[in-house]
Amino acid sequence: MTLAVRVPEELSARVPVEQRGPGLERDAVRMLVSRGAEVAHHTFRELPLLLRAGDLLVVNTSATLAAAVDGWTGHARVVVHFSTRGDDGRWAVELREPDGRGTTRAREGGPAGREVRLPGGVGLVLEEPLSGRGERLWWARVSGPGVPGLLREYGRPIRYAYTERDQPLSVHQTVFALPSADGTGSAEMPSAARPFTARLVTELVSRGVLFAPVTLHTGVASAEAHEPPYPERFAVPEASARLIDATRAGGGRVVAVGTTAVRAVESAVGADGAVRACAGWTELVVTPERGVRVVDGLLTGLHEPQASHLLMLEAVAGRVAVERGYEAALQGRYLWHEFGDVHLVLP
């Protein structure tokens, strides 16, 4: 889906909401609510009033990694973005070029055999492109004590040019984030859940709204390419699968918190329409043609008009609803990207 709109640069959220004024918390962001072609304007703190007892929020528990590390290839400075750990111990990585303003711009990764020197005496060698779609992401072998330790010691969260400054890793974690046993996680924050606070979760639970945790480790997106999603690791636990199926059977609504939650849940749906415990890699791309089988609603951020995420949004809400919602978001001066406002799509 391509929207015939342009998002002005000033509508990019440059800092998190809690840094825009005294007394603001994460849940102070605005929330656009779409029900079909109808659009309403709310704050995120009103979410408990928009859900019903018996509704289910599916949340991604993947923790964000400090996935950006400075390095050198020959005499050139680079920034390595660690995206995903493969089953063979290699990592999918993206090489970026420092732009002199604390952020980076795109650069070619190859050729195969390119060596990158990293802090702590760690070396990295590019071996092959991740896919035939391009050479932005490469499988790389890393020497040394291990990537999770390298990221903890020398990494920082990935940052894109529309943001004002680096932020500590804690700013990029959601209230649902849990560390994984093997030290892996998401290269980029599952940002739809960022506005949740412990207080708001408590209020939702007290009103009878349910939560189902799933995990999907997000890979590195491209600020320039708007590519379809790559295979990502995911897990839907047995208890969450049963809760999702029970919610549907009881007439509640299954609302995914973020496109990552949609991808995980829809990857675990069997031919009979039931969700089952599942873990591994998913290559599922949710499009309007494929549709959704379990998810009724979606809480998500505002995406660029060319982003592949909009295909998933259209699959849940329909094209007319997406077009109407984005028109209203532009007219209402909503803020875009991971620190911006959110969009709740309900049936």
CA angle 235, 241, 242 (to 5 degrees): 155
| Cα distances (Å, whole numbers) of residue 48 to 20, 36, 63, 203, 334 | 24, 20, 25, 7, 21
d(CA 59, CA 255): 9
Q: Which helix (H) or strand (E) holds 79?
A: strand 76-85
Burial class (CB in 10 A: 0-12, 13-18, 19+), 181: exposed
| More confident call, 279 vs 306 | 279
With a cut of 70, say whether residue 2 has pLDDT above it: no
Query: If pLDDT is split at 50, 70 and 90, which confidence band does 83 have?
Result: very high
Q: Residues with Cβ < 8 Å from 61, sequence gap 6 or more?
A: 176, 177, 178, 213, 214, 215
pTM (2 d.p.):
0.94
Predicted pLDDT of residue 235 = 97
Predicted pLDDT of residue 3 = 64
Nearest alpha carbon to residue 192 among 130, 286, 260, 238: 260
Q: At what angle do helices 309-317 and 259-267 cross, to 10 degrees?
A: 70
| More confident call, 96 vs 132 | 96
DSSP-based three-state secondary structure for 318: coil
User: pLDDT, tens digit, for every residue of 106-127?
Assistant: 888 889 999 999 999 999 999 9
Q: Would you list the domain boundaries of the chain?
A: 9-64+171-345, 68-156
User: pLDDT, tens digit, for every residue of 233-261?
Assistant: 999 999 999 999 999 999 999 999 999 99
The CATH class that applies to domain 9-64+171-345 reads alpha beta
